[in-house]
Every structure is written in C-alpha cells, then in structure tokens.
Amino acid sequence: MNTDVKKIEKRLQEVVEKNEDAIKGFDKAAENSKDEAIKSYFRGRIENRKLFLVQLKNAASGLDLGDGDIDGSTKGSMHRTWMDVKAFFSGDNDEAMLEEAVRGDKAAIEEYYEVLAETQVPARIKEILREQRDFIQNDLETSHILEEHK
C-alpha cells in the first residue's frame, strides 16, 4: 500500500477515534449530569458524533478506518476516567462536565485543522471534515450559553 494512503488512513483514523471518544465522553457526561437541559445537550452531541462517524466512513470507503465498534482511544478512556473523578469531587458537576466537553471539542477542532492541512486528503473527505469542524465550532457557542445558564 502506498505511503500516502497509509498516512491518510492514519490521520482519518485519529479523527474517527476523536469522535468515538466524544461519543463516550458525552455519554458519561449525560450520565453524571443532574440538569435535564444539559443531559439533552450531551445526548444531542452523541447523535451528531455518530452521524460524523457514518459520514467519514462512507466517504472514505476503501480505506481502513476501523471495525465499526465505538472503541475510542486509550487517551480518551483516561480522560473519561478523569471526568468521573472530577464529577465525584466537584461541587458543581454540570459546570465541570461542560468545561470538559468544551476542552474536548477544542481538541477535536485542532485535530480537524491538522488533518485538513494534509494535502493528500481527497477533496470529498476534506469537505466533510470542514463541515464537521464548523459544526463543532458553532456548537461551542451553545455550550457557553449552557455554562452561563448554570
């Protein structure tokens, strides 16, 4: 297999893992949240990220982007454990969960920018990545509004 294709697969797999991590993190945050509006926000983000995975895997058919299970990364698993610990010791659980979601979304946006900078990524995949990145950026505004609501 060509090295450029392997590099594209690796970079796209990182984006897939970041979305898998987000799904699991949002699920954990919804589980820990006491506020119904915030629970609903996190559940909506889960559905968005699942759609992102479908879009990426459909656009990148022929590339190896994993087995379809939502596994996430080791780093993501450690972050979710940190969210549990923070939720346990935090006086304002919902605010802490929103802060972690914002931090995770900012990291995801950075990952999208890095992959989009790769010249070898096919145009159809770049368009999907741009749309997903823009959605996450716009969604950060919603999370800031929810933080102010708390």
Q: How many domains does one find in the chain?
A: 1
Q: Compute the C-alpha angle 34/36/54, nearest 5°.
A: 110
Amino acid present at 6:
K
Q: Which residue has the tokens 């609501």?
A: 149
Of 26, 80, 82, 33, whose CA–CA distance to 49 is shortest? 26
% of the chain surpassing 70 pLDDT: 74
Average pLDDT, the chain: 80
Give me 61's structure tokens.
């058919």
Which stretch of DSSP H or E encloses residue 113? helix 93-116
Q: Does residue 141 contact residue 131 with C-beta atoms inside 8 Å?
A: no
Contact 7, 63 (CB under 8 A): no
Structure tokens at 82: 């940190």
**Residue 78, pLDDT score:** 52
Q: Please write the tens of the pLDDT for every residue from 86-108.
A: 555 455 578 888 888 888 899 99
CATH number, residue 95: 1.20.1260.10
Residue 51: its pLDDT value, please? 97
> pLDDT digit string (tens) for 68-91?
555 555 555 555 455 555 555 455
What is the extent of the structural domain holding 104?
3-149
- For residue 89, the model assigns a pLDDT of 45
